[in-house]
Amino acid sequence: MSFPAQRLRRLRRTPALRRLVAETRLGVDDLVAPLFVREGITEPQPIASLPGVVQHTRDSLVKEAHRLSSLGVPALVLFGIPSRKDPEGSEAWNPNGIVQLALKDLRDDLDDAMVLIPDLCLDEYTDHGHCGIVRPDGTVDNDATIELYARTAVAQAEAGADLVAPSGMMDGQVGAIRNALDGGGFNETGILAYAAKFASALYGPFRDAVDVTIVGGGDRKGYQQDWHNRGEALAEVRADIAEGADIVMVKPALAYLDVIAAVKASTDVPVAAYHVSGEYSMLKAAAERGWIDGEAVALEHLTAIKRAGADIIVTYLAGEVAESLNG
Ligand code: PBG
């Protein structure tokens, strides 16, 4: 008598059996919603390449945060679009700049119901669209830039940020921000570091959302990571943690599941992944044509990001996925 073949299908027979043995569970608690607030508008503005996402007014932002909070989404990342851009991006640290005002609105209204995480970068605020100070030769000056990040971190902390999220990929940015926060009396304000952020072509729709065009058709390959590399991501993560990062993030997500897994295996701090604008837009475009089931693919993609090792997922799908997980 021969041994029976292994019966792997027994545990797949019913939905309850499948639920019982599921190794990865995506929950509302894992989700962070990115939101945009724009200065000087009176009605929310749709973003053509990000269907369902808008540039908010200060009022509509607070309403949307309430909706997300009542769905159980624990956190939001906030991006500002100022009316005035200049070479330094000075609206980023203006105490009356749009993100600072919006953070105060959110804190007043929500108290501690949501974790408030302003993105900390200069590209939304500079007239040339780079993430820092541009030298005459067109390169970005690392050390001059991180001084401005440090200033911005203090302004964001003063306005009520729980965590600041530096996304500019300058060397030493986390250390400079940690020092400035501690020096300003904000030792309770944490840092979610965009640690392994790749120079991806998937950020296109985001740049529409924040009205950013990089001058002269330039790119960010001089400071964001080259997507041919994985080991380098671990070096970035190690450096950020040594400088004081509380959470490290990999970005984008789906094409970088190997990086997420390697980062998770290399550290004990929470690991976040950013499911970026291009990933969202591809899904929405195919779903709109009826070529894929958008809701099913959304759950499959976000669960895969979690399975790879992400503890936290930043995604434009947060609201709708929270609705389907709650429903
Ligand atoms: C930089 C920043 C970018 C994104 C988040 N923070 C754009 C960039 O690096 O060019 C992209 C997010 C997305 O594509 O959803 N402030």
Q: Give the Å distance between the CA of 1 and the centre of ligand 1.
A: 62
Q: Give the Å distance between the CA of 206 and the centre of ligand 1.
A: 6
| Catalytic residue IDs | 197, 251
pLDDT of residue 107: 98
Return the residue whose CA atom lies nearest to atom 8 of ligand 1. Answer: 203
Residue 279: alpha-carbon gap to chain centroid: 13
Q: Give the Å distance between the CA of 33 and the centre of ligand 1.
A: 14
pLDDT of residue 1: 57
Q: Are 253 and 274 in contact (CB under 8 A)?
A: yes
Q: Are 225 and 197 in contact (CB under 8 A)?
A: yes
* Nearest atom (ligand 1) to Cα of 204: 14
Burial 124-159 (b: 16+ CB within 10 A, else e): bbbebbbbbbbeeeeebebeebbebbbbbbbbbbbb
Average pLDDT, consecutive stretches of 10 residues, N- to C-terminus, the chain (327 residues): 79 97 98 98 97 98 98 98 96 98 98 98 96 94 98 98 98 98 98 98 94 89 97 98 98 98 98 98 98 98 98 98 95
Please name each of the domains of the chain with its CATH number: 26-250 (3.20.20.70)
- Taking the chain, what is the end-to-end CA distance rounded to the nearest angstrom? 49
* Nearest atom (ligand 1) to Cα of 122: 16
CB within 6 Å of ligand 1 — which residues?
Answer: 119, 121, 123, 167, 203, 206, 220, 276-277
Return the residue whose CA atom lies nearest to atom 5 of ligand 1. Answer: 167
* Nearest atom (ligand 1) to Cα of 123: 16
* Nearest atom (ligand 1) to Cα of 224: 9
Which of 85, 197, 203, 211 has the most ligand 1 atoms within 8 A of CB, as the residue to mutate? 203
User: pLDDT tens for residues 200-232?
Assistant: 999 999 999 998 999 888 899 999 999 999 999
Return the residue whose CA atom lies nearest to atom 14 of ligand 1. Answer: 203
Q: Are 188 and 257 in contact (CB under 8 A)?
A: no
Q: Give the Å distance between the CA of 203 and the centre of ligand 1.
A: 6
User: pLDDT tens for residues 231-251?
Assistant: 999 999 999 999 999 999 999
Q: Give the Å distance between the CA of 9 and the centre of ligand 1.
A: 43
Q: In one letter, which amino acid is 16? A: A
